[in-house]
Amino acid sequence: MTTAAIPYTVEPRPDTGLNNVKLGIWLFLASEVMLFGALFASYILLRVGAPPGTWPEGATILNVPLATLNTAVLISSSVTMVMAWASCMKRDLGKFRLYMGLTVLCGVGFLIIKAIEYGAKFQHHLLPSTNTFLAIYFTLTGLHALHVIGGMAVNAWFWGPGSKMWHTAHQQFTNRVETAGLFWHFVDLVWIFLFPILYLL
Amino acid sequence: MAQPGTAEREERHDDHSAAHEADHQLGFWRRVVFSVDHKVIGIQYTVTSLFFLLFGFSLMMLARWQLANPGEALPVIGALFGASRMPGGVMLPEFYNQLGAMHGTIMVFMGVVPLAVGGFGNFVVPLQIGAPDMAFPRLNMASYHAYFWGGVIMLASFFVPGGAAQSGWTSYPPLSDIAPTGQTVWLVGMIFLITSSLLGSINFIVTIIQLRAPGLTFFRLPFFVWAQFVTAFLLLLAFPPLEAASFMQLMDRVAGTSFFLPSGLVVTGQALEVSGGGSPILWQHLFWFLAHPEVYVLILPAMGIIAEVIANNTRKPLWGYKALVYSVVGIGFLSFVVWAHHMFLTGMGTVMNAFFQTTTMIISIPSVIILTALILSLWGASMRFNTPMLFALAFLPMFGIGGLTGLPLGLSAADIHLHDTNYVIGHFHYVVAPGTIFALFAGIYYWFPKATGRRMSETLGKLHFWPSLLFMNGIFFPMLIQGMAGMQRRLYDGGASYSHAQDVLWWNDVMSWSAWGLGLTQVFFIVNFFWSLKKGAPAAANEWQATTLEWSAAPSPPPHGNFAVQPVVYRGPYEYSVPGMERDYLPQDDPSETAADTGSGHGLPDPVPAE
Select the residue from A34, A122, A175 to test the B interface by mutation, using most B Cβ atoms within 10 A.
A34
Give the per-residue pLDDT at B592: 81
Give the per-residue pLDDT at B26: 73
The average confidence (pLDDT) of chain B is 91
Residue A9: how many CA atoms within 13 Å on its side-chain side? 14
pLDDT of B52 > 50? The answer is yes
CA distance B43 to chain A (A): 17
- Picking from A28, A37, A132, the nearest residue to B202 by CB comes out as A28
CA distance B110 to chain A (A): 21
Contact at CB, B241 and A32, closer than 8 angstroms = no
- Picking from B205, B278, B279, the nearest residue to A27 by CB comes out as B205
Alpha carbon A92 to chain centroid distance?
25
Contact at CB, B136 and A42, closer than 8 angstroms = no
Cα–Cα distance measured from residue A50 to residue A61, given in angstroms and rounded to the nearest whole number: 17
> Are B200 and B140 a contacting pair, CB within 8 Å?
yes
Angle between helices B223-254 and A132-159 (to 10 degrees): 120
Backbone angles phi, psi at B557, to 5 degrees: -75, 155
pLDDT of A3 > 70? The answer is no
Cα–Cα distance measured from residue B425 to residue B342, given in angstroms and rounded to the nearest whole number: 13
Which residues, including other chains, have CB under 8 Å from residue A98's CB and lie 6 or more apart? A87
Which residues from B are below 8 Å from A23, CB to CB?
Answer: 205-206, 209-210
pLDDT of B8 > 50? The answer is no
**Band of residue B580 on the pLDDT scale cut at 50, 70, 90:** confident
Contact at CB, A45 and B248, closer than 8 angstroms = no
CA B540 → CA B413, B450, B557, B581, distances in Å? 55, 8, 9, 22
Quickly count: other Cβ atoms within 10 Å of residue B525's Cβ.
21
CA distance A184 to chain B (A): 19
3-state SS assignment for residue A99: helix
Q: Region B598-604: what's the mean pLDDT?
A: 44
3-state SS assignment for residue B515: helix
Give the per-residue pLDDT at B516: 97
Contact at CB, A6 and B251, closer than 8 angstroms = no
Interface ipTM: 0.95
3-state SS assignment for residue B548: coil
Which residues from A are below 8 Å from B250, CB to CB?
Answer: none
CA distance B141 to chain A (A): 11
Give the per-residue pLDDT at A103: 97
Which residues from A are below 8 Å from B191, CB to CB?
Answer: none
Contact at CB, B248 and A23, closer than 8 angstroms = no
Cα–Cα distance measured from residue B261 to residue B280, given in angstroms and rounded to the nearest whole number: 6
Which residues from B are below 8 Å from A8, CB to CB?
Answer: 135, 210-211
Give the per-residue pLDDT at B273: 87
Closest residue, chain A, to B282 (C-alpha):
A42
Closest residue, chain A, to B286 (C-alpha):
A38
Which residues, including other chains, have CB under 8 Å from residue B286's CB and lie 6 or more apart? A38, A42, B241, B242, B244, B245, B248
Contact at CB, A20 and B136, closer than 8 angstroms = yes
- Name the maximum alpha-carbon separation found in chain A: 65
Give the per-residue pLDDT at A4: 67
Positive/negative CA dihedral, B461, B466, B467, B473: positive
Q: Is B545 left (phi over 0), alpha (psi -120 to 50) or beta?
A: left
The letter for the amino acid at A7 is P
3-state SS assignment for residue B585: strand
pLDDT of B222 > 80? The answer is yes
Identify the CA nearest to A117 among candidates A69, A161, A167, A163: A69
Q: Is the previous residue joined to B609 through a cis bond, with omega within 30 degrees of 0?
A: no
Select the residue from A139, A140, A175, A182 to test the B interface by mutation, using most B Cβ atoms within 10 A.
A139
Identify the CA nearest to B37 among candidates B484, B402, B584, B557: B557
pLDDT of B9 > 50? The answer is no
pLDDT of A150 > 80? The answer is yes
Give the per-residue pLDDT at A5: 85
- Picking from B37, B209, B259, the nearest residue to A135 by CB comes out as B259
pLDDT, tens digit, 9 for 90 and up, residues A6-55: 999 999 999 999 999 999 999 999 999 999 999 999 999 999 999 888 89
Identify the CA nearest to B215 among candidates B117, B109, B129, B340: B129
> Are B461 and B528 a contacting pair, CB within 8 Å?
yes
Q: Is B560 left (phi over 0), alpha (psi -120 to 50) or beta?
A: beta
- Region of poorest pLDDT, from B129-138, B260-269, B504-513: B260-269
Contact at CB, B289 and A45, closer than 8 angstroms = no
Contact at CB, B257 and A139, closer than 8 angstroms = yes
Percentage helix, strand, coil for chain B under 3-state DSSP, each rounded to 5: 65, 0, 30
CA distance B562 to chain A (A): 9
Q: What is the pTM of this model?
A: 0.93
Give the per-residue pLDDT at B447: 97
Contact at CB, B206 and A20, closer than 8 angstroms = yes
% chain B with pLDDT above 70: 93
pLDDT of A148 > 60? The answer is yes
3-state SS assignment for residue B263: coil
> In this complex, how many residue pairs, one in chain A and one in chain B, have their CB atoms less than 8 Å apart?
146
Q: Region B469-495: what's the mean pLDDT?
A: 95
- Region of poorest pLDDT, from A168-172, B20-24, B268-272, B499-503: B20-24
Cα–Cα distance measured from residue B284 to residue B101, given in angstroms and rounded to the nearest whole number: 16
**Band of residue B507 on the pLDDT scale cut at 50, 70, 90:** very high
Cα–Cα distance measured from residue B411 to residue B296, given in angstroms and rounded to the nearest whole number: 19
**Band of residue B15 on the pLDDT scale cut at 50, 70, 90:** very low
CA distance B60 to chain A (A): 33
Q: Region A96-121: what's the mean pLDDT?
A: 97
Which residues, including other chains, have CB under 8 Å from residue B359's CB and lie 6 or more apart? B334, B337, B338, B341
Give the per-residue pLDDT at B593: 64
The DSSP element (H or E) to which B328 belongs, if any, is: helix B321-334
pLDDT, tens digit, 9 for 90 and up, residues B64-88: 999 999 999 998 898 899 999 999 9
pLDDT, tens digit, 9 for 90 and up, residues B85-105: 999 999 999 999 999 999 999
Which residues from A are below 8 Å from B41, CB to CB?
Answer: none
Give the per-residue pLDDT at B79: 87
Which residues from B are below 8 Å from A2, CB to CB?
Answer: 26, 30, 36
pLDDT, tens digit, 9 for 90 and up, residues B385-428: 999 999 999 999 999 999 999 999 999 999 999 999 999 999 99
> Are B587 and B311 a contacting pair, CB within 8 Å?
no
- Kindly state the DSSP code that residue B196 receives in the 8-state scheme: H
pLDDT of A147 > 70? The answer is yes
Q: Region A154-182: what's the mean pLDDT?
A: 95
Pairing of β B270-271 and β B266-267: antiparallel
Give the per-residue pLDDT at A53: 85
CA angle B474, B475, B479 (to 5 degrees): 110
> Are B228 and B304 a contacting pair, CB within 8 Å?
yes
Cα–Cα distance measured from residue B233 to residue B259, given in angstroms and rounded to the nearest whole number: 28
Q: Region A138-152: what's the mean pLDDT?
A: 97
pLDDT of B595 > 90? The answer is no
Which residues from A are below 8 Å from B30, CB to CB?
Answer: 2
CA distance B332 to chain A (A): 16
Which residues from A are below 8 Å from B212, CB to CB?
Answer: none
CA distance B275 to chain A (A): 5
